[in-house]
Structure 1
Amino acid sequence: MMKQFLLFFALIFISTINTKAQTAEISGDAFAHTYSIVARDAKTGEMVVGVQSHWFSVGPLVAWGKSGVGVVATQSFVNPAFGPEGLKLLDQGYTPEEAVESLINNDEGRDFRQLAILGKSGDNAAYTGQKCVAEAEHLNGDNFSVQANMMLNDEVVPAMAEAFVENANLPLAERVIAVLKAAQDAGGDIRGKQSAALIVVGPDKVEEVWKDKKIDLRVDDHENPIEELDRLLKTARAYEFMNRGDLAMEEGNVEKALEEYGTAESMFPDNLEMRFWKAVALANSDRLDEAKQIFDRIFEEDENWRTMLKRLPKAGLIDVSEEEMEMLTE
């Protein structure tokens, strides 16, 4: 009887030591208990990571991507090395499944990890460690993988997958916003909401590092991070038209610039800068009376834009005479 007792005690002791050893492997790792999606647009080849968590600034921890290579989401007790290392393995020719297997097999904290990798062809693989906090699971589909841990219920991941499939008509970034909203509507993170992020990379490799991410948005701390992420995406879309307007101005295509600026303004009519550059385009196309009406309303709200307008001739951004400039700024 005494021998059996001693054996039982020894087994408990060994089990406790093993548990402490495993926990030690993740003791310094950041939390990112969360839900996320990695996905590809079959039409454009763009790839995306979308994520939300009740944790400060989840984006830099979870979301990784490289144009022409793939995207990675690393979460739960985060091993941040999975991001750059996963992309490196994809770039070396590993399949997503091989990359996941290689990373997980070389990580002693594997039981606490959650990882998803998607390559440029849309192939994807995911892993959920057996000690990720419930509810925790992943689901792989055609050109996407959705994964979550520490959810309120087991309906979150299926809701994400369904939303991705049902919103195939949307651009990829907007499609992922719909997925994140579906996750939240299904219950989301059991702790609530705090931060979110969205990155989109292209189908082809780029030489200039600043062109690598086509969209890179973060909400580090907000009471409604997905709604804020949605707002930022809409703003980013509007500024895409502003950028096209700027390019048209550089090329001397005033009518094209006017069209692009007008589209941006229609998306955000209260944005003074969008209205300002539309007025500049009008002035450059000799539609001075229309331009002045817009400028006057802008100056009533903020006098700094009057000073700004006076500086444009020297920069070559507006082509009007001194008399015309005086008329526009009086």
Structure 2
Amino acid sequence: MGGAVGYMQFLLEETQKRGLPVRFIGVELLSTPRDYPFIPIQKKSDSWQKFLVKLFLRAPFLKFVRGEIVHVFRIAYAFPILLFHRQVKVVCVSAEPLAAAAHRYPHWLFKIIDYLFWHVERFVLKRLKALCTTPDVLSRYFFSRHPALMKTVLVHPSTAVGIDLQQFTVLERIPIREKYNFTPDQKIMLFVGRLAPVKRVDFLLKVFKQLHEKEQVSHFIIVGDGEERERLQRITEKEGIPAVHFWGEVSKTKLPEVYNLADVLVLASETEGNPTVVREALACGLPVVSTAVGDVPEILDNPYCGAVVPSRDVSDFQEAIAKVLALPREKVNSVCRKKAMDFSREALFEELVRLYNS
């Protein structure tokens, strides 16, 4: 149910693969073959707030059997289900706390929303079967807001999507570079994700400018689209930052090539859950330099997999990237790929099945 298309596609595809009974309540996922019952809440993807309102209107009329497991992506979506259907067992994913959205609202309005949401969280947490979240969000958000209640909640410390290790793998680099008109000796920095304020791609442009001026990095490829794209392009032009390539959305089939042509993936987000791009990059032998968000510090526990930058300083980030780029590429490929073996679709889905059966 709910948003996070990639997460829901992962669940649906793996349940179908195993012949498990499943139905989907939410928005049509066009890229997933539908061999399961589908109950539409709205016709196309929209804001989570609008989806929640429509779910509230529909929830009293949904039919569930006693003990049925309902896997939802946001605590807000669990609220109407548990309000009208006490007989179900809800597994809820909460990868991004409400506080991450504070900048989108006036201060006074956010205080009201936060107060109401505290009560929603409390209602849901009292009735959940399990909460899927990251250690970072768990300690920083849930334990600070609901310390007593969290002692009784079953927690699964992951919101990760499994990676197809056959699709995301190490490829021959030189032919790919030739295909995209890059030379073998150039150093390429890569960002993959939504172009939204929380991703801080404007910060990464400053980092790249410094690296480019020092001739440590030749190109910066930005894959993804979003509300920030035009502003970021204006910054690039105004600041005279050369060799920045806005590639927009790239299909899942072409993404492994993009990871393989780069030298480092960069992530400077204010908040994350279990970023899929980090796992995909490692599977392709690509190291990652990131802020300390979500479960990234636990993943990047080997210097050959990349680095976590605790500060938000441009020079610190630039220095971390330079150190990663200086490492021997063959060793980097090998260590990153080995680390990615922990994130296979099969392994992560089996963890969820054990959670369902607990």
The TM-score with structure 2 as length reference comes to 0.27
- Structure in which a larger fraction of residues adopt strand: 1
TM-score w.r.t. length of structure 1 = 0.29
Which structure would you say has the larger Rg? 1
